[in-house]
Structure 1
């Protein structure tokens, strides 16, 4: 089964690296797929680096940009969000990215049943046109946090079907958020990308797990990344497994290449 595993790096693995150095890190690990972000200070996209420059740097290192991460609060659709979506979709098209990750409101608002479902469909309907016009796919990422307005992948999948969006949208299966949400179903056929990270801390309860707990996947992982990956592959998923750790301990590594290689080897040995 390991032959089916294809790994990628989200820029969050080493947010201090400039894009060119990040692409080199990926290349030296023998990988060819990356996710770039729009929330890293002093870095593309937030520093104004033209898409053409990032596209050229990626190409020089043999990298394929699988996504831009992310349009935040996508399911709170308004004029501001529309402008953000258009700007990011334009950048995705121009940088050669295949997709734009869509992250829901995560502050305790927009959770009521009718409101939640209506807001999701309104946003997906508008995004469908924006993304389709630019040849970019949307990757809806439910978050497992109790305050999130979209925790359920089933809700996301149903909404995508309701807006006739299966040609444009897929979902992100994030192993951290899947564990927190406690939703049994995984929807491998509707999964366009998998984010992987582990939690080793034995003292934190699931409800209190947060982004800073998210490290690289190893033998101490409490999220069952290996089991989740096995289930996705058994269900037919053959896409990327993209490392997305948020822990300062990972971000502070002097040599992230070694740690990433060890995590890749561990996952390959277990799946």
Structure 2
């Protein structure tokens, strides 16, 4: 990977990358045979080096289908981080209560479900069962939906009795899609929904520096500034296009926000939601 540029701004102390992944090292944490894609090896030390370069102190590492249900690499990173990281798990129903409590003790703070067609849509009864099992832990529910799927999923999302985090601004088919923005605003009005301002590199039609995605991000910030999060989505798996410069992604957020808004999005809201 090409080394990212340094952001033009200095991020506030305690800044958090609320959506990133790690893979490997594969000699210690091999990929499962039934994985849906083949990620490059990007272990925790590489993530740490990226964040140190960008001026990011904290991160939420999201378990990826690249490692499937084997959380060994994620848990090792949480242990190594000694408080620097929190995690989001992929689970199926039936995990023993003691095992869930151990995940919580080590820093897992959420469970994620992907409704992307290329990753396979989970059964909603299964999703409800997992949400019920983790409810006593107070975890959030992260949902990866895309474009038209947001309208279909909105009644289900509204019924979830837990904090809900929508990944990647719900990945509209185009960044100026008014239907997606309206749907996100309606969910935000329920005051139990957070949105990750992430994946500009996947939403753009114009390319870097992602000026065409900026209005969507600013509209969401204007609607609910205290329920916005920011994530790099490093290392950008399954991206069919130019790899982004993470410094540019930071600068995009900086160009849209005041210093106070950046502190809210990067420090205060992640600290509250993820328990830093």
* TM tier relative to shorter chain: 0.5 to 0.7
The structure, 1 or 2, with the larger RCO (C-alpha pairs under 8 Å, 6+ apart) is 2
Counterpart Cα distance in 2 of 1:126 and 1:154? 21
2:132 to 90, 101, 105: 90
User: Where do 5+ consecutive residues of structure 1 fail to align?
Assistant: 38-44, 106-115, 201-208, 242-271
Local SS of the residue matching 1:2: coil
1:127 aligns with one of 154, 157, 168? 157
Cα shift at 1:68: 1.9
TM-score, structure 2 normalization: 0.53
- Name the residue aligned to 1:193: 229
TM normalised by structure 1 equals 0.54
Distance in 2, matches of 1:64 and 1:199, equals 20
Aligned to 2:29: none
Q: Map of 1:107-256 to 2, 5 A cutoff?
A: 116=148, 120-121=150-151, 123-129=153-159, 131-132=160-161, 135-139=162-166, 141-142=168-169, 144=171, 149=173, 155-162=179-186, 165-177=189-201, 180=204, 182-185=212-215, 186=217, 187-188=220-221, 189=225, 191-197=227-233, 210-211=238-239, 221=245, 224-230=248-254, 231=256, 234=259, 235=261, 236-237=264-265, 238=267, 239-240=269-270
Alignment partner, residue 25 of structure 2: none
RMSD of the TM alignment (CA)?
4.3
Among 49, 53, 57, the alignment partner of 2:99 is: 53
Over 6 Å off, 4+ runs = 212-215
C-alpha distance in 1, partners of 2:234/2:72? 26
Gaps of 5+ in 2: 1-10, 17-58, 206-211, 272-276
Quote the residue 2:28 is aligned against. Answer: none
The answer to whether the Cα contact below 8 Å between 1:153 and 1:171 also exists between their aligned partners in 2 is: no
